[in-house]
Amino acid sequence: MILAFLPNLVFLVLLIITIFIFTRNILKIKSNIDLGENIDRTDKPSERWKNMAQIALGQSKMVKRPIAGVLHVVVYIGFLIINIELLEIIIDGIFGTHRIFAPILGGVYDVLIATFEFFAFLVLVAVILFWCRRNIIRLNRFWKNEMKGWPKLDADLILYFEIILMTLFLTMNGADFYIQNNFPNAEHYQQAGSFPISQYIAALLEGVSLETAITIERIAWWMHIIGIFIFLNYLYYSKHLHILLAFPNTYFANLNAKGAFANNPAVTAEVKLMFDPDADPYAAADDSAEEPDKFGASDVMDLNKIQLLNAYTCTECGRCTSECPANQTGKLLSPRKIMMDTRDRLTEVGKNIQKNKGVFVPDGKQLLNNYISTEELWACTSCNACVQACPIDIDPLSIIMSMRQYLVMEESSAPTDLNNMMGNIENNGAPWPFNQQDRINWVQDL
């Protein structure tokens, strides 16, 4: 009796473990993002929903590059559609039923499964083409320096995962269809539809016994769902997190003109005080104008929460880097690497805190220099090409600017030329050493 329920029990335990680990990972990401400074991005909610609907749900920036865009849309729609089937698989798994929706939905079920199969096949084709772009055509942006090692393996593993999952899905359907057609009296395996793609797999099984067919169907069914459980918890270690985080990331994206860089409010308070003729120079500092512990960012904790969310959201597609004028002309700067470094450092800091029971114990490292070099930071032209290129509204430029702010305001370590330029602005109101009184001299020979 108990043995009869063993599969259900195993399934339930696996499901609970999966949900437990997944929740723990999501909470870990959340607590790491919370290490960042607060930033208010809750204004204009309707515009934010619209941004998310267009860019994350609607993939509007993705299709700016048509080939990758269309292939991605196929995989994305496939992912959304085929996951509807997960509901049935989970119910069947828990209750020991088989295709519980088939008798309920009748003809609709046939159409649904046919649609899933159609997309599963398209996803297979798209993913294989993706693999070819990476490994045979070897598109330049997939082979940059920052892609060596784990990022390269990660990208390929995701594609292998998807190939395996889709193949298992179609195999399980094919075996099922074979049983339905050849063994009408087999328990559980009722007629469920036309199975337009997997019928070809069923044809391959011709002559196979019922027992073997059931074994194939069961193995494929179990491996498919276990594969999904594993994939779900693989996300945390992977760039593939974008499938979840693209949504909050586009919701909380910067909606202002790209040229508008944030003004640091702590600086404003100080500057206004300097300009105020009534200010008492000996007065105690106003506590309401909270002085930050430092200007700009040298480590991940100095960045804001959106910048950290950006880092986790990055899927390393490299469109930013391929559009970056500095990178195109052989400079060290790669906006994608800025995002990957930020994420990797944040993960490292998160582990440190976890190991030390909630407290960050200085590890002699920081984002600046240990991950991102000053040479990279000073190569940026602030042209916003990276921000424009990102299909999910990640802003590498804001991190570069935060770090430049630290370099200049905390370390006074700008390149000499820039120090001269800033000295000129300070002394005569122009980046060059000209007298402010001469600003109007151009009118002389009009």
Partner 1 sequence: MIKVPTVAELTAEGKIPEILFWVGCAGSFDERAKKITKAFVKILHNAGVSYGVLGAEESCTGDPAKRSGNEFLFQMQAIANIEVLNGYGVKKIVTACPHCFNTLKNEYPELGGSYEVIHHTQLLKDLLDQGKLTIEKGSYKGKKITFHDPCYLGRANNVYEAPRDLIKKLDAELVEMKNCKAKGLCCGAGGAQMFKEPENGSKDINIERTEQALETKPDIIAAGCPFCNTMLTDGVKNKEKEGEIPVLDVAELIATAKDL
Residues that bind partner 1 (CB under 8 A): 256-261, 263-264, 267-268, 270-272, 274-275, 295-296, 323, 325-326, 328-333, 375, 378-385, 387-388, 401, 403-409, 414-415, 417-418, 420-422, 425-426, 429-432, 434, 436-443, 446
Phi-psi region of 410 (alpha: psi -120 to 50; beta: other; left: phi over 0): alpha
Min CB(155)–partner 1 separation in Å: 25
Residues paired with 372 in a beta bridge: 368
Least distance from C-beta 246 to partner 1, angstroms? Answer: 20
Instruction: Give how far the C-alpha of residue 302 lies from the chain's centroid of Cα atoms, to the nearest Å.
Output: 21
Give the nearest distance from C-beta 410 to partner 1 in angstroms. 10
Query: What span, in angstroms and rounded, lies between the C-alpha atoms of 284 and 249?
Result: 41
**Separation of alpha carbons 304 and 292, rounded Å:** 13
**Nearest residue (CB) to partner 1, 185 versus 444:** 444
Q: How far apart are CA 39 and CA 127, in angstroms?
A: 38
Whichever of 180 and 334 has its CB closer to partner 1, that residue is 334
Query: Min. distance of Cβ 426 from partner 1 in angstroms?
Result: 6
Residues 217 and 170 sit within 8 Å (Cβ to Cβ): no
Nearer to partner 1, 31 or 268 (CB): 268
Q: How far is the CB of 151 from partner 1 (least distance, A)?
A: 23
**Choice between 7 and 423, CB closer to partner 1:** 423
Q: Using only the alpha carbons of the chain, give its radius of gyration.
A: 28
Residue 185: name the closest of 142, 214, 216 by CA. 214
In the bound state with partner 1, the residue whose beta carbon lies nearer, of 83 and 268, is: 268
Q: What are the backbone angles phi and psi of residue 59, rounded to the nearest 5°?
A: 55, 30
Of the pair 275, 282, the CB lying nearest partner 1 is at: 275
The pair of structure tokens assigned to 17 is: 């473990």
DSSP annotation string for 319-374: HHHHH-HHHHTT-S--HHHHHHHHHHHHHHHHHHHHHTTT-PPP-S--HHHHTB-H
Closest separation between CB of residue 389 and partner 1, Å?
8
**Smallest gap, in angstroms, from Cβ of residue 161 to partner 1?**
33
Which one, 133 or 331, has the nearer CB to partner 1?
331
